[in-house]
Amino acid sequence: MFSMIFDIPPPADVALAAPAIVVKPAAKIDWKLKENGNTHHTDRYKGQELVVRRGQPFDISLALSGTPPAADRLTFTVETGSTSALQAKTRVAFGISGAPGSHSWGAVQTSTSASSTTLSFSISSPANAAIGRYSLDIQTGSGGSGPSSLRGTFVLLFNPWLSGTRRLTHTPHGP
């Protein structure tokens, strides 16, 4: 009896309601895979995920669907691991700064065109950042329409070319 009820299609004159809320993507992240791959010596890694080295800035662009928000309305959050915590530095929120930082996460806006719907940024990680797969969440405030969020992932590797990073290597001791 019940299967007969669920197998009956709705009558032709009944219109199904459209979803009440339509969510449009606020932006798309261009990870600049080729450029960052060359700069970070990770261009031989295959795949669609960005692979960069800690302590060295990488570039991204946001293609927005409307008027770009003011720089002070953007918040970047990076996190790695299953139990992210601000205290453990595996989850860090930061805004736009004037210059790249060498001891903390930071973002510098590199595009200056106010009429463009594309914003470019240079993201910096500290030399001692945890190595692993990170999620990047970008919160944008877009005037009266409220904030929106954009998320992507990237991989952060050890950087053997960066002076001052701690390396665990075997050094043979002579007689």
Domain coordinates in residue numbering, the chain: 26-157
User: Which residues have CB under 8 Å from 109's CB, separation 6+?
Assistant: 71, 96, 119, 120, 121
* The total number of residues written for the chain in this structure: 175
How many CB atoms neighbour CB 109 within 10 A? 15
Q: Place 115 in a pLDDT band, splitting at 50, 70 and 90.
A: low
Give the pLDDT confidence score for residue 86 in this predicted structure. 58
Collapsed DSSP state (helix, strand, coil) of residue 71? helix
Give the pLDDT confidence score for residue 59 in this predicted structure. 97
Distance set, CA 95 to CA 7, 20, 33, 109, 135 (Å): 54, 33, 23, 10, 16
Per the CB < 8 A criterion, the answer to whether 67 and 117 are in contact is yes
How many CB atoms neighbour CB 132 within 10 A? 11
- Residue 142: half-sphere exposure toward Cβ, Cα within 13 Å: 17
* Rounded distance between C-alpha atoms, residue 61 and residue 63, angstroms: 6
Which one of 23-32, 35-44, 143-152 scores highest in mean pLDDT? Answer: 35-44
Q: Place 97 in a pLDDT band, splitting at 50, 70 and 90.
A: confident
- Residue 151: half-sphere exposure toward Cβ, Cα within 13 Å: 4
Residue located via tokens 């050890």: 158
Give the pLDDT confidence score for residue 171 in this predicted structure. 43
* pLDDT, averaged across the chain: 76
* Rounded distance between C-alpha atoms, residue 147 and residue 71, angstroms: 13
Q: Which residues pair with 140 in a beta bridge?
A: 74, 148
Q: Please compute the mean of the pLDDT values over residues 118-138 and round it to a whole number.
A: 92
Domain 26-157 has CATH 2.60.40.10: yes
